[in-house]
Amino acid sequence: MGKFVIKKDKSDQFRFNLKAGNGQIILSSEAYTTKTACNNGIESVRTNSQDDNRFDRLEAKNGSPYFNLKAGNGQIIGTSEMYSSKDAMETGIASVKNNAPDATVEDNS
C-alpha cells in the first residue's frame, strides 16, 4: 500500500512525496507554505489521480519521459521522476492511480 510522506524543506516549506508500496517515490509535490495547504494538495492528488486527462505526459530536454499531475484548475500538484521509456512512465502513472486513493499519510515535518 502506498503512502504520502510530508516533510519540511530547507526553506521551511511543506512538501509531500507519494511512495508506492515498495518505498519508491512515484510523485513529488510543489512547496506549500502551510501544512493545511500541503494536506489539501494530498487530497487533490487522491481525487485528480483518478482522471487520466489530469496527467500531462512530457519529455525532458534529454529525452526522458516524465509526467505532471494537474488539478482541475490546471495547477501542477505533482511531478514524477524521469523515466527510461514511455512504457515505464505509463507504469508510473498507473502506480499513482492505484496507490493515491487509499494511501496513508506519514507526517515527518
- What are the pLDDT digits (tens) for 3-29? 999 999 999 999 999 999 999 999 999
Beta carbons of 46 and 57 less than 8 angstroms apart: no
Beta carbons of 85 and 68 less than 8 angstroms apart: no
Q: How confident is the model at residue 100, as a pLDDT?
A: 97
Show the domains of the chain with their CATH numbers.
3-107 (2.30.29.80)
CA 58, 80, 61: angle at the middle one, nearest 5? Answer: 40
In this prediction the pTM is 0.93
Q: Which residues contact 51 (CB under 8 A, 6 or more apart)?
A: none
Q: How confident is the model at residue 1, as a pLDDT?
A: 86
Query: What share of residues in the chain are helix, strand, coil (percent, to 5)?
Result: 30, 35, 40
CA distance 62 to 41: 29
Q: In what order do the strands lie in the sheet with 3-8?
A: 55-59, 65-70, 76-79, 25-28, 14-19, 3-8, 104-107
Residues in the chain, pLDDT under 70: none
Q: How confident is the model at residue 66, as a pLDDT?
A: 98
